Amino acid sequence: MRRRLLKGLPLAGWLWGDAARAQAQARSRAHVAHVAHPAKAVRWPADPLASPSWPDLARQFTDGGPIVFSTRVLVQAPVHADDPLNVPVRIDAKALLGTAGMGGQRVRRIRVVADLNPVRHVLDFEPLQALPVLALRMRLEQASPVRALVQTDDGQWHVGGTQVGAAGGGCTAPGGARSDGSWQDTLGQVQARWFDNAQEGSRRLRLRVMHPMDTGLVPGVPAFYLETLTLTDARGQAACRLFLHEPVAENPLFTLEWPLATDTGQPGPWRVQGRDNNGLRIDQVLQS
């Protein structure tokens, strides 16, 4: 079945190089809801990382909502990424919980962006039942601020970030699985493991989905990447959602967290479901 799907992929619309970059940026903009801005210039809060891209990034990725830079949004990444194709990033916005007053605000979404990547939008994470904590691996084309834009239910965006150095080429070099051709043998496979984090009172899920996550910026290799992943709990309800873009590293690996009291095994199994941009479906039961 997997090989039949691969053989049926449309070739006519495949692009690479500058054309793929322009198309990827257009898709990213289409995913983010835009609002009309008045003619008067918008005054964005000053960027602690002093990035020249910040005003444009704020305009594109915050839906016109109010913005505040916040130390309660923690973004952890190496000062210098040894492997720009596989940069570890961890976001923790738990400090925002319980601080929104009587309205009982919660985290609606976490949007991860890299200012200087050719495709800046890395992913959106909707925690739903999960804690607003996410670890991932991503590609960096060059040294860049990496940010988490965290929106609470009142529409406020809380922004945290860090500067990450990189040698370069993370988005325009082929990944290991693409180079040796092994991606065809593992495409769509899911690996998952639950474990307790008693120190922080949470239960973690480490989830990997095998996929080359091609950016479309390598000559001759079209964009081919996972677009959505949804975890469904034992009751059949969505537990969290991920909306992915090209800069997520190959064979995406995520660490997610739920409160320790969350029922992750009974009365039925959890599932991960998703799809990529060429229609390949993911549907896997997770062992508790």
Domains of the chain with CATH codes: 57-286 (2.60.40.2470)
Q: What is the mean pLDDT of each run of 10 residues along the chain (288 residues)?
A: 39 47 57 42 83 95 93 97 96 83 73 98 97 97 98 95 95 84 90 85 93 95 97 93 98 94 66 97 88
Output the pLDDT for position 265: 52
| pTM for this predicted structure | 0.84
In this prediction, residue 263 carries a pLDDT of 63
Give pLDDT, residue 25: 58
Distance CA 69, CA 46 (A): 9
Buried b (16+ CB within 10 A) or exposed e, 26-59: ebbeeeeeeeeeeeeeeeeeebebebebbeebbe
Residue 177: per-residue pLDDT: 76
The CA-based angle 87-197-130, given to 5 degrees, is 70
Q: For residue 226, give the H/E element and its range.
A: strand 226-232
